[in-house]
Structure 1
Amino acid sequence: MTRHAHRLARWQRLGLFGCGALLTLSGVLWLALHYSVGAGAGELPHPLEAWAIRLHGLAAFGALFMLGVLAASHIPQGWRMSGRPRWAQQRGSGASLCALGALLALTGYLLYYFAPESVRPALGWAHSLAGLGMAALVVVHRRPKSR
């Protein structure tokens, strides 16, 4: 196996990081618009709020597709390679990324379809924190390792 056999193909990296960046930016934009200083009880939502969440949902579909792409080759191959000392630390961050991805898909689905109004704020904050955690963990998982 060559040194870079575990690396994602260029289209996979672009798709994954593109979806991830779009998810993060649209989610942060929605949070900023929804919880802005001017927002108060009885006020109308910001006009861009609906577009930010629509963009977030679209990017989520792309991210789910990319998770399937990763599940087909990168994850199993990375799991096998993580037996080597140089790659062992990526097993933990990779498993954490998979768990966060599943949590984000579940909480996003619940927010969109099932969450009662009494649970929505807490579930929304859990979803937001998990998303920011995932964005940070991608950087840790991706960083070059020393030899």
Structure 2
Amino acid sequence: MNHLKSWQYRALYVTVAALTLSGLLWLAWHYLWGAGAGNLPHPLEPWWMRLHGAAAFAGLFMAGVLAAAHVPQGWRMTTRSPRLRQHRAGQRRTGIVLCALGTAAVLSGYLLYYFVPENLHELMGWAHAVLGLVLALLLPLHGWRHDQSACGR
């Protein structure tokens, strides 16, 4: 089995929840009650972004935790035998997609903060938001697939 330790599981889901919630709150305040609506930025916008940035650091830490043990162990488990490879193929796919989405979300966030020109900022911001939401929605599916494959043994 390749279960996360309970502290890893909790830390991962708290981090993803903080990232998702702070991002959604920033979007709401920016586009519904702030600059996106033609007004000055809402005073809470910078606070949502600060929380999002702090949660991003936690997310990078959790990515390192997963990259150190969970991902390599899962990869080894699915390459040991043809039966395991077939049995866990769906989980491997969602894991690969989660790794790719996480990498793309980190890269797009970094580009947004440091490199994207102003005329592309909003487009990249929406791409970053979609990446984050898809990642947050796919994460429970990966865990569910793990639970299903454990039950089917």
TM-score, normalised via structure 2 length: 0.88
Residue 67 of structure 2 is matched in structure 1 by 71
| Equivalent pairs, count | 142
Give the TM-score, by structure 1 length.
0.92
Unpaired segments ≥5 residues, structure 1: none
Whether the 8 Å contact between 1:20 and 1:135 is mirrored in structure 2 is yes
Q: Percent identity among equivalent residues?
A: 52
In structure 2, the partner of 1:114 is 115
Range with bigger deviation, 137-146 or 88-97: 137-146
Q: d(CA) in 2 for partners of 1:53 and 1:67?
A: 20
The runs of 4+ residues in structure 1 deviating greater than 6 Å are none
**Larger helix share, 1 or 2:** 2
Whether 1:36 aligns to 2:32 is yes
Contact 1:6 1:74 survives alignment (8 Å): yes
Which residue in the other structure is 2:13 paired with? 17
Counterpart CA distance in 1 for 2:60 and 2:29 is: 25
| 1:33 alignment partner AA | W
Residue 120 of structure 2 corresponds to residue 123 of structure 1: no
Counterpart amino acid of 1:40? A
- Select which of 28, 39, 55 maps to 1:59: 55
Which residue of 2 is the match for residue 80 of structure 1?
Answer: 76
Aligned-residue RMSD, C-alpha = 1.3
Letter in 1 for 2:75: W
Q: 1:27 aligns with which of 10, 17, 23?
A: 23
Unmatched segments (≥5 aa) in structure 2: none
Partner of 1:101: 102
